[in-house]
Amino acid sequence: MVVRTELTDDETDRLFQALAASTRRDILRRTLEHEQSVSTLAAAYDISFAAVQKHVAVLEAAGLIIKRAEGRERLVRGDPTMIARARALLAAYEDLWRARIHRLDDLLAAPASPPPKPGE
């Protein structure tokens, strides 16, 4: 089985939009700890059941959670695979910026050339 680690631009947009809301981040945290029903999740927040369902739908569209039916309940669990893909994306950005900072440090540490004399 081949596991993709690189995210498309659309996947990246959905990922960061999903994580932009604190309620969704908390739902993700809870569902990474253990699988929960949408009803159980809704009881933990001072918002409507429908609002929690919408948050779950956004997380599911981003691939951060997996929802499954068990009888009349909808059970939700976090998807560690997508978390790993997001972590790989952030690590790539970190590597890019660390390399840039390292080059800047090298440039600043290099001995300064004497200024050119007038007429040279």
Give all domains of the chain, ordered by start, each with its CATH number.
9-101 (1.10.10.10)
pTM for the model stands at 0.76
pLDDT tens, 62-93? 999 999 999 999 999 999 999 899 899 889 88
Dihedral-angle region of residue 63 (phi above 0 means left; psi in -120 to 50 means alpha; beta otherwise):
left
pLDDT tens, 5-46? 688 899 999 999 999 999 999 999 999 999 999 999 999 999
What number of CA atoms fall less than 13 Å from residue 35's CA on the CB side? 11
In this structure, the number of other CB atoms found within 10 A of the CB of residue 31 comes to: 22
What's residue 105's pLDDT? 86
DSSP 63: T
Using alpha carbons, select from 34, 81, 43 the residue that is nearest to residue 62.
Answer: 81
Confidence of residue 1 (pLDDT cuts 50, 70, 90): very low
